[in-house]
Amino acid sequence: MDIIIRYLKNSSRIFIATHTNPDGDAIGSLVAMGLSLDSLNKKITLYNESPIPAVYRFLPSVNRVVRNINNENYDLAIILDCSDLQRIGNAVSIIKTIPITINIDHHVTNTRFGNFQLIDTSACATSEIIYRLIKQMAVPFNKAIATSIYTGILTDTGSFRFSNTNKAAFAICQEMVELGVDPYNIAQHVYGTYSLGRIKLLNLALDSIEISDNGKLSIMTLTQDMFNETHTQPEDVDGLINYAKRIEDVKVAALIQQHWNGKEKSINCNRFHVSLRSDGTVDVAAIAASFGGGGHSSAAGFSIESTLSDVKLQILKLTETM
Ligand code: 5GP
Ligand code: MN
């Protein structure tokens, strides 16, 4: 960590990016890192290729996150919450022009890309690692940083329910509350209000659930037609897989999501993102990695080009070893 801090302190133009289709940890850690480097008077660019999901637009400084960049002669890149560099999307080409890349993450499948890595697979969220980094840099926490860190930990632990929930999650969140974070207010933003379309998408998602013959695998499917019908977007999928995972006797839940770019019909209907969740007895990070993706042992994902029926067949095959 010390060498990373030295590079942060010695750099003046810093580019910070997180993964496409960001979750609360991706945005929370991005904003917290940016705000803390602001106070060291660095020139910061915050980058995410995807739009900020509506539920995270209350976070401080999210309006500073840009979706396009020019090469502005950065001297340092920081990549957060990405197990491989490709997770940031098109900006990979810009990274290649920046002399130093720092990789900060908590995924077991991290490929250790970049010049320096700060990877802790026991951290509940990348936001936990950023918290420690800010402490170590002796940058004072303010309410804006605290709100971002709290939101990252809250969402990545599924509100302190998932298996990655650790002692630090509670200790850090308590400290953030002491700094002025209002847990009810954040919960209202993140979980309190959904668009009607999102509720209708939930209905279609629940209706799509199929269970394998042995009862151990559930598959939920979301197609472009469903997004169009309910006027929803990929960000509205967040959390739906947990319904498929909750089903009695299910060990692995899969959510197959047809690639959708917000247009009437995507150019490529045969691209899918598959999310996997397990009850802890099956290592879905290893399964996702075998398809070129990654993640955590009980929450992982990958992308695949094929027909929907073939994707389902490949997933159903997983039950042979369950
Ligand atoms: P989700 O299913 O919610 O998209 O992602 C679950 C976990 O798997 C997250 O930690 C996410 O970063 C990781 N993940 C999802 N999709 C991919 C992917 O295509 N590649 C990699 N390396 N990780 C992924
Ligand atoms: Mn994370």
Nearest to 105 by CA among 134, 77, 80: 80
Q: Where are the alpha helices (DSSP H) in 97-142?
A: 126-137
Show me where the domains of the chain are located: 2-191, 196-321
- Whether the per-residue pLDDT at 228 is higher than 90: the answer is yes
Percentage of the residues of the chain whose pLDDT score is greater than 90: 93
pLDDT digits (tens, 9 = 90+) for 40-57: 999 999 999 999 999 999
State if residue 275 touches ligand 1 by the CB under 6 angstroms criterion: yes
Q: What is the pLDDT of residue 72?
A: 81
How high is the pLDDT of residue 287?
97
Mutate to test the pocket of ligand 1, among 243, 275, 298, 311 (most ligand atoms within 8 A of CB): 275
CATH class of 196-321: alpha beta
126 in ligand 1 pocket by Cβ < 6 Å?
Answer: no
The reply to whether the predicted model has a pTM over 0.85 is yes
H or E element at residue 42:
none
- Mean pLDDT, rounded, for 70-86: 94
Q: 132: CA distance to ligand 1 center in Å?
A: 24
pLDDT at 269: 82
Under CATH, which architecture does the 2-191 domain have?
A: Alpha-Beta Complex (3.90)
Collect contacts of 84-92 with beta carbons under 8 A, ≥24 apart: 84/109, 84/110, 84/111, 84/113, 84/294, 85/111, 85/113, 85/114, 87/19, 87/20, 88/17, 88/18, 88/19, 88/20, 88/47, 88/49, 89/19, 89/20, 89/49, 89/50, 90/49, 91/17, 91/47, 91/49
Q: Ligand nearest 271 Cα, by number?
A: 1
Ligand nearest to the CA of 127: 2
Task: Tell me what pLDDT residue 131 has.
Answer: 98
User: What pLDDT is recorded for position 263?
Assistant: 58
Which tens digit of pLDDT belongs to each residue from 173-194? 999 999 999 999 999 999 998 9
